[in-house]
Amino acid sequence: MMNRNPMLAGMDACPPSIRVMEKLLKVVQQLSATHDLQSVMDIVRHSVRQLTGSDGATFVLRDGNFCYYAEEDAISPLWKGLRFPMEICISGWVMQNRQPAIIEDIFEDKRIPIGVYQKTFVRSLAMVPIKSNDPVGAIGCYWSESRTPTLEEVEVLQVLADTAAIAIDNIGYRENIASQARQLEEAIDGTLLAVASMVELKDPYTSGHQRRVGIIAFDIAREMGWDIKRCEALRRAAIVHDIGKIGIPGELLAKPAKLTAPEFALIQTHAQMSYDILKEIKLLLPIAEIICQHHERLDGSGYPHGLTAEHILPEARIVTVADVFEAMTSHRPYRPSLGLEAALDELTRHSGTLYDAAAVAALVRLIKEKNYQPPQ
């Protein structure tokens, strides 16, 4: 192994054993597959002891001006979980000076405050910074006898610290990406809810309809065994499924009497309009496609395109069932609720011809066998 560190220039170099190299390689592989800090610390600590033959190992993280002994398996009494000011501990010295500390006899070294190790077995140690340029921590190993750690031991320690630094960075990047994805999802949810309420302002008779269809569609999909992510995406689509109604005259949406044929034809344009509104936003294109199809029927009798079963998205088929169920069971100013039984009867009578059979069966199961309470 190359003597890379100027602090180690005076030490005797000797080639690392194949066993050490093999073990190091395994550790690098393990660390690159690790997704959490605790596992990084566990792997490093065990490997340090195994590879250096030391009697104890420690994993310190920088916490402002303090050294946080995050993992510790040797010093008695245990320092694990404790914080010490940078100035009074050797890991602080390592981080502030950005170089290893190699101490043959801790009672003879001026950097070690008197008495710190008195109650412990520690007599000698080696400690290196994690990220030499801008240390975020340190890892060290201890021996119970006075001895000079070899160059190979210190170099092994540094390789482990460098690999731990990469693993810690990767965890940070992953957490960052996950948090950005969460924020984006929250922003999309907020935007969709705002859009949904805009439609409902215009059509107060269906106030809350889209939100309830979202919940029912989600519950049907869960009952059908869909994974949670797909159910969430379905719910997002369902809560804006009537967004196109924003382009329909308000007096028509609020008309208490039966619609004429031309009026009904105008209302029917809302499905295509829903698609047209959302299709420009690339992120929302899958939602646009689902809601465009929420009035299609399996036998091709629906609108806007008269699609048949195999061409209708599974998500759209579920929204359809939830939409019909919600519309029939809720009160409208121009008519009372048609009732649960009537809604289930309509759905089961046309299951497989107009409505998706699996979605209808899931909803019937929820209500008849699982005491499902539709959202209010």
Tell me, by CB under 5 A, how many residues bind Fe ion: 1
Contact 347, 360 (CB under 8 A): yes
Our finding on whether 326 is near Fe ion (CB under 5 A) is no
Our finding on whether 72 is near Fe ion (CB under 5 A) is no
CB of 40 to Fe ion, least distance (A): 51
CB of 303 to Fe ion, least distance (A): 10
Q: Coil, strand or helix: which one is 353?
A: coil
Neighbours of 330 (CB within 10 A): 19
Helix (H) or strand (E) holding 103: strand 101-103
Of 116 and 267, CB closest to Fe ion? 267
- Stretch of 50-58, 127-135, 236-244, 330-338 lying at the interface with Fe ion (CB under 5 A): 236-244
Residue 71 corresponds to which tokens in the numbers above?
Answer: 């993992």
DSSP label at 82? -
CB of 294 to Fe ion, least distance (A): 6
CB of 295 to Fe ion, least distance (A): 6
CA distances from 308 to 294, 303, 318, 319, 355 (A): 12, 10, 15, 16, 11
Q: Which residue is nearest to Fe ion (CB)?
A: 242
- Stretch of 101-109, 153-161, 205-213, 241-249 lying at the interface with Fe ion (CB under 5 A): 241-249
For residue 302, what are the contacts with CB-CB under 8 A and spacing of at least 6? 295, 296, 354
Our finding on whether 242 is near Fe ion (CB under 5 A) is yes
DSSP per-residue codes, 199-250: HHHH-GGGTTHHHHHHHHHHHHHHHTT--HHHHHHHHHHHTTTTGGGGGS-H
Of 56 and 244, CB closest to Fe ion? 244
Q: Coil, strand or helix: which one is 143?
A: strand
Q: Phi and psi for 26 in degrees, rounded to 5?
A: -65, -40
Of 155 and 242, CB closest to Fe ion? 242
CA distance 203 to 245: 8
Of the candidates 271, 291, 372, the one whose C-alpha atom is nearest the C-alpha of residue 325 is 372
Q: Coil, strand or helix: which one is 156?
A: helix
CB of 309 to Fe ion, least distance (A): 19
CA distance 267 to 255: 11
For residue 231, what are the contacts with CB-CB under 8 A and spacing of at least 6? 218, 221, 222
Contact 241, 210 (CB under 8 A): yes
- Stretch of 5-13, 234-242, 280-288, 296-304 lying at the interface with Fe ion (CB under 5 A): 234-242
- Stretch of 3-11, 219-227, 238-246, 361-369 lying at the interface with Fe ion (CB under 5 A): 238-246
CB of 362 to Fe ion, least distance (A): 21
Of 48 and 319, CB closest to Fe ion? 319
CB of 242 to Fe ion, least distance (A): 4
Q: Phi and psi for 139 in degrees, rounded to 5?
A: -125, 145
Of 304 and 374, CB closest to Fe ion? 304
CB of 222 to Fe ion, least distance (A): 23
- Stretch of 56-64, 94-102, 209-217, 239-247 lying at the interface with Fe ion (CB under 5 A): 239-247
Of 242 and 356, CB closest to Fe ion? 242
CB of 262 to Fe ion, least distance (A): 18
CA distance 111 to 93: 8
Of 44 and 277, CB closest to Fe ion? 277
Expressed in angstroms, the distance from the first to the final Cα of the chain is 70
Our finding on whether 203 is near Fe ion (CB under 5 A) is no
Of 62 and 270, CB closest to Fe ion? 270
CB of 322 to Fe ion, least distance (A): 11
Which residues make up the interface to Fe ion (CB under 5 A)?
242
